[in-house]
Amino acid sequence: MSTASALAPRRGPRPTTTPETPHQQVDQIAPEELQEKLWRRMAGLDHVRTGASVISLPETRALHLDPEHALGPRSAFVRDSTEFAHLHGPFDGSLHALLTEADAAELVEKGWGELHPIVHEGRHPPTLVMIYGPRDEEELETVWKLVRRSYAYASGQIL
């Protein structure tokens, strides 16, 4: 991230997550009201349609960029789709998103998330991350900043 938008370190220990797919957060779950607040913001992004994820569980809500606005590189999307982020169900509250390699590395370093297990398996570039669910309003703002970075990457605004 640019110096002006650098992430502050996340407070406290990282949550527990599953080491394989489905990749889920199992503790420090985001309160449902924060999950819904985040989803309303996500669903309101320009040129985005909401729907099922092409890779996640049925209760997952995904963001798909309209094809004419999906100007980012292939590594900004999951599979051969225009999906660039999805929010897991209320039992989890985390989300997966695609970020530039530099943004993904900063996210991991500052404790806001981790690389997806398929990255460790060599099946995806190090752009697919889990962003931990927000525990409070302050964290919601950071998570929202990360979603907007994913959106910018997918729409070709940052590379």
Please give the chain's pLDDT, 159 residues, in tens.
654 468 999 999 999 999 999 999 999 999 999 999 999 999 999 999 999 999 998 899 999 999 999 999 999 999 999 999 999 999 999 999 999 999 999 999 999 999 999 999 999 999 999 999 999 999 999 999 999 999 999 999 997
Residue 122 lies in a domain: yes
- How many domains in the chain? 1
Closest CA to 154 of 57, 94, 78: 78
CATH number at residue 22: 3.90.1150
Residue 61 lies in a domain: yes
Residue 149 lies in a domain: yes
pTM of the model: 0.95
Residue 23 lies in domain: 16-154
Residue 28 lies in a domain: yes
Cα atoms in the 13 Å half-sphere on the side-chain side of 90: 6
